[in-house]
Amino acid sequence: MADSMNISSTQDIYSCLEKDSYALILSDKFSMSLALVTAREQFVADWPELEADTYLKKGSNFRFRRFNYFYFVPDGTGVKPFPAMPYYQSSDYNQYAGDVQRHFHPFTDEAKHNPFLHALIQFNFAQLPLADDKKNGPWKVESHQIRVVTKANETGEPTPEGMHQDGVDFVFIYVIGCHNIKGGESIINDTDGKGLYRHTLNNPFDAIVVRDPDVFHGATSIVPEDPAKDGFRDILLIGFTYQPELTPPETS
């Protein structure tokens, strides 16, 4: 696929997601063109430059992020970024920061149009077990670049809201990279609290995907492996919500 701008995987992610409402995605099962590998490197270079999340409580400073909505219709027309707009979750889903219009810095213009990100969104969508009436309509895609940091005097909390749902249809959680940390174990429970999956994702672009209404997910705290040095855990979240009345952005 040297000339392809698509991403493929040898895993049957679709079947796992259909059966269990979650799936593990392994980075070593991916295949993509050299051009997308280069675009991925350019995209990942943004993480050290993320801005502080100003919605943390008790003076905490453990999270940095950027956020953007995208418009996607699986008809071959591609992915279209929305202009900057606030991120909102009901407190039904996020008791830590719900019911607040959170204004995060948007993706950079380069990141919004990065061909690897667009190919990853389309790859992700192709894995979703969907009813026929949702296979062709518009989807609102939310994407979060997140860095959680930890220092000797501050624990990093990947999910300060605890075990939770995001209020979307599906969400993909990719590990971009980790440095000098202990913890950060990914956890998936069913809606009754029964544990379904626990594992620490360590390799860049290993991921989990969940059918959000069916399960709860979270991640354990991180602390520095070497207390004399800071640590971090970088994550990319991509959430999909079917919105049949959604109109495409006029500008990007």
Place of tokens 């040898």: 10
Per residue in 36-93, pLDDT (tens digit) is 999 999 999 999 999 999 988 888 899 999 999 999 999 888 899 999 999 987 777 7
Instruction: State residue 141's pLDDT score.
Output: 98
Instruction: State residue 95's pLDDT score.
Output: 63
Answer whether 190's CB lies under 8 Å from 215's CB.
Answer: yes
Convert 60-98 to b/e letters by CB count within 10 Å (16 or more is b).
eebbbbbbbbbbbbbeeeebbbbeeeebebeeeebebbb
In the chain, what are the helix, strand and coil shares in percent, each to the nearest 5?
20, 35, 45
d(CA 184, CA 233): 8
CATH code: domain 8-242 is 2.60.120.620
pTM for the whole structure: 0.94
Instruction: State residue 251's pLDDT score.
Output: 56
Instruction: State residue 250's pLDDT score.
Output: 81
Q: Which amino acid is at 8?
A: S
Instruction: State residue 89's pLDDT score.
Output: 77
d(CA 109, CA 198): 36
Output the six-digit token pair for 227. Answer: 């207390």
Residues of the chain with pLDDT under 50: 1-3, 252
Instruction: State residue 168's pLDDT score.
Output: 96
CA distances from 201 to 103, 109, 136, 156, 220 (A): 29, 29, 32, 16, 12
Instruction: State residue 2's pLDDT score.
Output: 37
Instruction: State residue 75's pLDDT score.
Output: 84
H-state helical runs in 115-239: 115-126
d(CA 125, CA 129): 9
